[in-house]
Amino acid sequence: MGARVRVEPKTNRLYLDLHVRGARKKVTSHLPDTPKNREILEAKAETIEREVFLGTFDVERHFSRTKTKPVTFKELYEEWKKKKANEVSPLTLQWYQETVEAKILPFWGSKRLVDFSHAVFDTFKAGLLEEKLAPRTVNIVMMRLRQMLRMAHQRGYLAEDRSPWVVKVRDVRPEIFPLSFEEKVRFIQALPRRWRPYFIVAFGTGLRPSEQIALKRESIDWARGKILVREGWRHGQRTRLKTQGSQREVDILPPVRKALEDQRRVVGKSELVFPNFHGEHINAANLRKRVWYPALAKAKLRERDLYNTRHTFATHALAAGEDPGWVAKMLGHTTLTMLVTRYYQYVPNLTRKDGSLLAKWLEKGGRAGRDG
């Protein structure tokens, strides 16, 4: 009789080689071969040998078949899904499931975790690209696959972290088309009067459409002049904000305050700041189709996405010479990186940023600033 800790060469997983009453049994542990895991199994082996000697050994008690570890990607997905259910909103979880079940499981579902290799991944990636999916869509699929692989390693199902093997495709961010000041005026004038307060607030705060649609009466702190951004509204559901920095207090500028006051008089005691005709949350798709695009056409402006209200706020604020830190805070950015890379090309020569200031400073021997 005896119990020995051994390793499966192909999978690098530890198992117990049991010899009990003349019979030999291999019990897989699903643990990768590491010093810590060897120590765990060696302690179990000693316990088993002692129980065999005493006649009390029970295989099921030590290796319950109800606690099997994921072997295939389909099994890993079920465990990953339970984990994500405690981390994200129901709507986000639904999006995750749709992505995995439509794009990942058809290829990976029946494959074993240990079958994940560079070559197989390249085949999978090539298949996605053949579908002519947008780069951003492909990368969303890659992120879900990477999350699953990372969890597989963290929980000991893969000895090596293979998530870095998942390489995303180059994603060129869609070009933005903010309105100029004159275009914004034309657009507001082309709107039905009922919708003017909504878009004056959108252009004057940089709120995301989902954030603005979710605003409630208690979101407006009139005394402090702040809009409290705490949640979003998408696809008929209350959602968490996009990032941690998105939970913020947005300054109410004078034109925005007037628009909010006008809106308050119109909607009366409605819980929502911008309700639809039925007193419920606005449907963003309807807003685009029935208000945004028709007003652009009436104002004879180039068609662009509704999100450009946010881009317009950012570019106008920077063009006016506002502190980039304040602009980033209003937008909910935690760093200036996105602000600079995303909007710099739309900021005109605010202070002759063509080298003329530096030339003047150098001509005066570094005294330009001191001379005023």
How does residue 33 score in pLDDT terms, banded at 50, 70 and 90? confident
What pLDDT was estimated at residue 41? 80
Region 124-146: mean pLDDT is 91
Q: Parallel, antiparallel, or unpaired: how do β-strands 13-20 and 232-234 relate?
A: unpaired
196, pLDDT greater than 90? yes
DSSP SS3 for 302: coil
Residues in CB range of 3: below 8 A, 6 or more apart: 16, 17, 18, 19, 44, 45, 46, 48, 49, 52
Q: Summarize pLDDT for 341-354 with one digit per residue, the tens.
A: 888 776 654 444 45
Asked if 309 and 199 touch (Cβ cutoff 8 Å), the reply is yes
Tokens of 314: 């950012």
What pLDDT was estimated at residue 15? 80
How does residue 158 score in pLDDT terms, banded at 50, 70 and 90? confident
Question: Shortest CA distance to 254 belongs to which of 234, 227, 275, 225?
Answer: 225
Asked if 95 and 85 touch (Cβ cutoff 8 Å), the reply is no
DSSP SS3 for 335: coil
66, pLDDT greater than 50? no
pTM for the full model?
0.62
Asked if 91 and 234 touch (Cβ cutoff 8 Å), the reply is yes
H/E stretch holding 149 reads: helix 135-154
Q: What's the length of the chain?
A: 372
Phi/psi at 296 (5° precision):
-60, -45
Phi/psi at 133 (5° precision):
-75, 150
- Write the DSSP symbol of residue 70: P
DSSP letters for 210-257: HHHHT-BGGGEETTTTEEEE--EEETTEEE--SSGGGSEEEE--HHHH
Phi/psi at 8 (5° precision):
-85, 115
287, pLDDT greater than 60? yes
What pLDDT was estimated at residue 31? 76
Q: 180 burial class (0-12, 13-18, 19+ CB within 10 angstroms)?
A: middle
Of 36-50, 284-298, 355-369, highest mean pLDDT: 284-298
Count CB atoms within 10 A of the CB of residue 348.
8
How does residue 298 score in pLDDT terms, banded at 50, 70 and 90? very high
Per DSSP, what are the bridge partners of residue 227?
220, 250
More confident site: 357 or 230: 230
How open is the CA angle 319-322-328, to the nearest 5 degrees? 100
SS3 of 51-66: the string is HHHHCCCCHHHHCCHH
More confident site: 154 or 212: 212
What pLDDT was estimated at residue 238? 82
- Write the DSSP symbol of residue 100: I
DSSP SS3 for 316: helix
Q: How far is CA 328 from CA 175, 205, 332, 338, 347, in A?
A: 19, 11, 6, 9, 15
Region of poorest pLDDT, from 171-180, 192-201, 263-272? 171-180
Q: Summarize pLDDT for 211-262 with one digit per residue, the tens.
A: 999 999 999 999 999 999 998 888 788 887 766 668 899 999 999 999 999 9
